[in-house]
Amino acid sequence: MIAGLDRINELAKIQKTTGLTEAQKLEQKELREDYLRQIRGQVLDSFQGLTVVDPLGNDVTPEKLKEEQARNRENQ
């Protein structure tokens, strides 16, 4: 579960029913930005382990992805 998601949903419910205060709007914006950062990070992590193979079994992983994977292995 992504951190802050419960609070994001809570603020969305408040927004629909009674509206948000300025402080709550700011909190909501920050939580949403953090949520998007986490999602993007998960997607990028998923791509780091990706290998593309054609129907004949040949590795056709794009060079850009291979280079990024190699950089990440060096940094670990």
Q: What is the pLDDT, as a whole number, of residue 48?
A: 85
Displacement of CA 51 from its chain's centroid (Å): 20
Q: What is the pLDDT, as a whole number, of residue 1?
A: 63
Domain boundaries, given as residue ranges, for the chain: 5-75
Q: What is the pLDDT, as a whole number, of residue 21?
A: 96
- Per-residue confidence in pLDDT tens, the chain, 76 aa: 677 899 999 999 999 999 999 999 999 999 999 999 999 989 888 888 899 999 999 999 999 989 988 888 887 7
Which DSSP category does 57 fall into? S
